[in-house]
């Protein structure tokens, strides 16, 4: 007999249904998942050997859980995926606001209904997607919001005394009975509100304005917190932390490959963007490397962290910047260029918390520094080290390029250049095309052009060329001529990017 055929308590008993707690439910379904060697937690990347095993251990132990980590570490995503470990449907007494278990009611309504109708008690079924409740902790959250309060209007309407349980208006936590309840950013909850959770976690009962009410709630609690919050905005009170049995530490992706997989999975691109805009692996890795550079930067507050949302938003902007150029130039397709990283700056500046030194530089300048460092790091993966090549007795592969700029030549790469002009400018630099073909002979024309531009940016990061910032692109020239031919206001050239952001 399936759940759609069970309409009464009597039929439920005949079916052999056995009630179990939420934590037992999660545990049993996880055991089945592990036995079948199914992954679970779809979409969570990079936690397979760290966070997920700890989480599974906590579920097997039937623990309440605290996910502790910096912003953008998929804490809320993990909590939401726990729903998949619940039974698909559970029965409850129809009309019950607390979704009372027909075999073990806890509310006045549940007890009265079963007492009155016995085996004829009407049964409804609750899908697991409806058994998840999430609350963002903010300073204005009250005990009434979470636990409940006495409702005088209800008392007057039903003509009840304040000794009657029916005058209570239940809060979010009782209404989450038989489900998963998540409190995000727990330290933001005022200490006196955190105290109200003690009894629910330990004794599984609630207290409302001195009301004598024993309500054995069945809940799986999941809390999330940022370690930064412990010092900046608030803290988790010690007795509450003591009652949360398992604390699991999350972390940022450990490698560019994992970070790239997350970005590609989460970035929201249109079908048109995916088919008309080519994004090489180099630019995808550059986006991820920016985040790694940011997490190590002396300009950025490490306690605040650098969210995975930085790379996701950056990649979306990168594609959109290339799309904008394609539309302006009336082209049917295009590929992402290094100059498109100008469009990434707005996605970086809003997602980094600067320390004092960073504030002095300005967010726009810091964003450009991060992009530059990312280019410098990846340059060594694709081409010889320009510094070592310069000092080596062997022929310098960059000599022809650097010498051409040394003769006073310059080029400006504007981010909305049509393809033919872009190609013509890059091909005008002697030795640039041959350098790329020497080290990467089997690439497409678009990839060769991308690497040609990448070499110019890389040489600038290794102080072999000068890179100046234009309003909508970059200008490359000889390093030493730019140093000795500065006019009075020219020293502000590299800071123009801050005027835009």
Per-residue pLDDT at 492 exceeds 70: no
Per-residue pLDDT at 495 exceeds 60: no
pTM for the predicted model, two decimal places: 0.85
pLDDT above 90 coverage of the chain, percent? 72
Token digits of residue 211: 């009301």
pLDDT computed for residue 481 by the predictor: 66
The angle subtended at Cα 401 by Cα 399 and Cα 402, nearest 5°, is: 65
CA–CA dist 50, 242 (Å, integer) = 23
CA–CA dist 316, 313 (Å, integer) = 5
Token digits of residue 298: 């002396």
pLDDT computed for residue 494 by the predictor: 43
Per-residue pLDDT at 334 exceeds 50: yes
Up-side HSE of residue 180: CA atoms within 13 Å toward CB?
29
Residue with tokens 């039937």: 62
Per-residue pLDDT reduced to its tens digit, 4-38:
789 999 999 999 999 999 999 999 999 999 999 88
Higher pLDDT, 286 or 147: 286
Please compute the mean of the pLDDT values over residues 392-397 and round it to a whole number: 90
Residue/partner pairs of 444-452 with CB below 8 Å, 24 or more apart: 446/278, 446/280, 446/335, 447/280, 449/335, 449/337, 449/422, 449/423, 450/280, 450/282, 450/283, 450/335, 450/336, 450/337, 450/338, 451/282, 451/382, 452/426
Q: Do residues 137 and 189 lie in contact, with contact meaning Cβ atoms separated by under 8 Å?
A: yes
Q: Which residues contact 393 (CB under 8 A, 6 or more apart)?
A: none
Ranges assigned E (strand) in 322-409: 334-335
Per-residue pLDDT at 485 exceeds 80: no
pLDDT computed for residue 499 by the predictor: 44
Q: Where do the domains of the chain lie, and which CATH numbers do they carry? A: 3-249 (3.40.50.300), 256-500 (no CATH)
């Amino acid at each position: 007999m399936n759940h759609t055929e069970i309409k009464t308590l009597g039929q439920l008993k005949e079916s052999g249904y056995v009630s179990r707690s939420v934590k037992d439910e999660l545990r049993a379904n996880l055991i089945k998942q592990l036995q079948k060697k199914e992954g679970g937690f779809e979409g969570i990347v990079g936690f397979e050997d760290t966070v997920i095993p700890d989480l599974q251990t906590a579920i097997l132990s039937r623990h309440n859980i605290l996910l502790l980590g910096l912003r953008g570490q998929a804490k809320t995503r993990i909590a939401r995926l726990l729903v998949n470990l619940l039974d698909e449907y559970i029965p409850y007494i129809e009309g019950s606001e607390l979704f009372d278990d027909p075999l073990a009611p806890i509310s006045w309504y549940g007890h009265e209904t079963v007492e009155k109708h016995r085996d004829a008690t009407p049964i409804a079924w609750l899908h697991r997607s409806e058994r998840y409740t999430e609350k963002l902790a903010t300073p204005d959250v009250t005990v009434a919001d979470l636990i409940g309060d006495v409702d005088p209007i209800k008392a007057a309407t039903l003509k009840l005394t304040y000794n009657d349980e029916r005058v209570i208006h239940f809060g979010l936590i009782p209404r989450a009975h038989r489900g998963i309840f998540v409190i995000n950013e727990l330290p933001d909850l005022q200490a006196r509100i955190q105290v109200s959770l003690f009894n629910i976690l330990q004794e599984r009962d609630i207290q409302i304005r001195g009301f004598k009410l024993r309500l054995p709630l069945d809940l799986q609690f999941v809390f999330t917190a940022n370690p930064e919050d412990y010092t900046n905005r608030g803290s988790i009170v010690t007795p509450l932390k003591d009652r949360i049995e398992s604390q699991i530490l999350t972390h940022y992706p450990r490698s560019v490959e994992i970070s790239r997989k997350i970005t590609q999975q989460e970035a929201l691109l249109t079908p048109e963007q995916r088919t008309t805009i080519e994004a090489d692996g180099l630019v995808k890795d550059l986006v991820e490397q920016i985040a790694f550079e940011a997490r190590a930067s002396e300009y950025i507050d490490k306690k605040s962290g650098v969210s995975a949302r930085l790379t996701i938003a950056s990649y979306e902007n990168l594609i959109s910047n290339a799309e904008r150029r394609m539309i302006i130039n009336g082209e049917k397709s295009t590929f992402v260029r290094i100059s498109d990283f100008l469009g990434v700056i707005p996605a970086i500046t809003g997602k980094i918390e600067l320390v004092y030194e960073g504030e002095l530089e300005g967010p726009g300048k810091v964003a450009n520094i991060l992009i530059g460092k990312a280019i410098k790091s990846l340059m060594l993966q694709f081409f010889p080290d320009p510094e070592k090549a310069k000092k080596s007795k062997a022929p310098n592969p960059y000599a022809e390029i650097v010498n051409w700029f040394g003769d006073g030549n310059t080029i400006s790469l504007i981010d909305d250049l049509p393809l033919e002009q872009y190609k013509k400018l890059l091909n005008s630099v002697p030795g640039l095309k041959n350098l790329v073909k020497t080290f990467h002979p089997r690439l497409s024309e678009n990839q060769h052009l991308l690497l040609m531009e990448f070499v110019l940016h890389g040489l600038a990061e290794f102080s072999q060329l000068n890179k100046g910032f234009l309003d909508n692109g970059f200008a490359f020239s000889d390093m030493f001529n730019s140093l000795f031919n500065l006019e009075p206001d020219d020293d502000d050239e590299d800071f123009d990017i801050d005027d835009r952001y």
